[in-house]
Amino acid sequence: MRHSQQPAQGPLTGSVRVPGDKSISHRAVLFSAMTAGTCEITGVLDSADLRSTIGAVAALGAGVEIRRSRAGALDVTVTGWGQLGPKADDDASIDCGNSGTTARLLLGLLAGHPGDVTLTGDASLSKRPMRRVTEPLARMGAAFDASDNGTLPMTVHGGALRAIDYDMPIASAQVKSAVLLAGLSAQGRTTVREPAASRDHTERLLPAFGVDVGRDIETRACWVDGPARLSPTDVAVPGDPSSAAFLVGAAAIVPGSEVRVTDVALNPTRIGFLRVLERMGADVLIRPGRASGAEPCGELSIRGGRLLTGVLVCASEAPSLIDEVPLLAVVAAMAAGTTRFEGVGELRVKESDRLAAIAQGLTALGVNVRSGDDWLEVDGPTVFRGTTLDSLGDHRLAMAWAVAGLVADGPVTIEGWDAIDVSYPTFAEDLGRLLDGGR
Ligand code: S3P
């Protein structure tokens, strides 16, 4: 499917509530499935990635009831497998679709339960690195059958696990979460230490399910004591800042815009993009509101038309904005001077090689851009050329190119537009409503 994004004829105005946070939705569904009771989760993101996680826990024996609440949101009742543990039918395989979070967290969850389960994924997920997860899990005692390069499809042979103390070579919330979930079935304390702070939703949400998570912020360590059981609880999922980023970024570069995003997660490990927009000179206001459980939430206001300038984005802040680099690169091309992103090599192993794809797409839009192994430099300001770009099946690229189309000298056509279903199926409607003045 293709989508032609027309240049904006006027500002974006109005208020919007974006769909539920993808990372929190995955965790709420997975943790609920591990309990021995019933959990009500409201505001779950209704997207292809979440359908993968919901399908997976149902296939592994959890009871799942789904109701659509508002556009883009699901209320999900999950009855967990509890002491029975996850059980798949013989020869059944679990399709994780495009979702790295589903695959990696499931590997950790399944590692500590006797039985063999095969995980598969789409063409993109089948190329993504899994050794970063299977390596620590193997040290704990799990075994895996995978292709030569350690990717999906993969069979997990779960069983009794040993607790480990693990220094992660990369900052990855998926790896950290997988090891902690495995640690829940191991005997003793499982500790994970990361080189930079990745998103901490697992650490914040597990305590709501009755599991203590120890944390030392200074050494970036966290730990669980196993074996531990999860108790049922209810979870309200706040809006996804990574989805909000596309609307916020669009408002920042379309003069006269005034956009408010309500009920959005404001977890500090997720909102690095707001700090960067502020440094560029954008008029962003963060208004903290009532927390959702242990997740800080609130409202964002953004006014467009400020003169933006290029900035340095350091490696230490990369994990807090890694998913927002495609959008930030588009905004950077509208800012005066050079924006340099450092320590963003992880972009090469996301849903696509995002570093290469951003450089290629921006070049086609007429931008001067340079990239290396783990850095990206974008010069601005540029008047984007209307052109045709391929999403490469990557949701965040598709939406970033649509934002560029708003300020281009002609339509920007995006091939593979349906990729947006992975995280933000109602993006075009929400953007259209803001372009219509919030009606
Ligand atoms: C996610 C973690 C991040 C992020 C991904 C979702 C998660 O990846 O890019 O979109 O929900 O844990 P890392 O595992 O590299 O941190």
Taking the C-alpha atoms of residue 397 and residue 423, their distance in angstroms, rounded to an integer, is 12
**Three-state secondary structure call for residue 217:** coil
Say yes or no: CB of residue 199 within 6 Å of ligand 1.
yes
Residues 190 and 269 in one domain: no
Angle at 334 between CA 373 and CA 302, to 5 degrees: 110
Residues 95 and 228 in one domain: yes
Q: Which domain holds residue 76?
A: 22-236
Q: Report how far ligand 1's centroid is from the alpha carbon of 38 (Å).
A: 27
* Nearest protein Cα to ligand 1, atom 9: 323
Catalytically annotated residue among 21, 95, 200, 323: 323
- pLDDT for res 218: 96
Q: Which of 236, 257, 281 delimits the end of a domain?
A: 236
Residues 242 and 232 in one domain: no
Q: Report how far ligand 1's centroid is from the alpha carbon of 104 (Å).
A: 10
Q: 395-406 and 325-332 are packed helices; what angle lies between their axes, rounded to 10 degrees? A: 20
CA nearest to 109, candidates 179, 203, 187: 179
Active site residue 323: yes
**Residues 6+ away with beta carbon under 8 Å from 181:** 30, 105, 108, 109, 111, 112, 202
Residues 249 and 163 in one domain: no
Residues 151 and 283 in one domain: no
Taking the C-alpha atoms of residue 5 and residue 199, their distance in angstroms, rounded to an integer, is 32
Taking the C-alpha atoms of residue 236 and residue 25, their distance in angstroms, rounded to an integer, is 9
- pLDDT for res 12: 98
Please report, for the domain that includes residue 148, its CATH number.
Answer: 3.65.10.10
Taking the C-alpha atoms of residue 42 and residue 19, their distance in angstroms, rounded to an integer, is 11
Say yes or no: CB of residue 351 within 6 Å of ligand 1.
no
Say yes or no: CB of residue 47 within 6 Å of ligand 1.
no
Residues 338 and 355 in one domain: yes
Q: What is the pLDDT along the chain (439 residues), one digit of tens a residue?
A: 999 999 999 999 999 999 999 999 999 999 999 999 999 999 999 999 999 999 999 999 999 999 999 888 999 999 999 999 999 887 779 999 999 999 999 999 999 999 999 999 999 999 999 999 999 999 999 999 998 899 999 999 999 999 999 999 999 999 999 999 999 999 999 999 999 999 999 999 999 999 999 999 999 999 999 999 999 999 999 999 999 999 999 999 999 999 999 999 999 999 999 999 999 999 999 999 999 999 999 999 999 989 999 999 999 999 999 999 999 999 999 999 999 999 999 999 999 999 999 999 999 999 999 999 999 999 999 999 999 999 999 999 999 999 999 999 999 999 999 999 999 999 999 999 999 996 6
Residues 370 and 226 in one domain: no
- Which atom of ligand 1 is found nearest the CA of 346? 15
Say yes or no: CB of residue 320 within 6 Å of ligand 1.
no
Angle at 154 between CA 177 and CA 132, to 5 degrees: 40
Residues 223 and 250 in one domain: no
Residue 427 is given by DSSP the state H
Residues 30 and 54 in one domain: yes
Total domains in the chain come to 2
Say yes or no: CB of residue 365 within 6 Å of ligand 1.
no
Say yes or no: CB of residue 174 within 6 Å of ligand 1.
yes
* Nearest protein Cα to ligand 1, atom 10: 323
**Cis upstream peptide for 7 (omega within 30°):** no
Residues 346 and 391 in one domain: yes
Residue with tokens 């997740």: 295
- pLDDT for res 198: 98
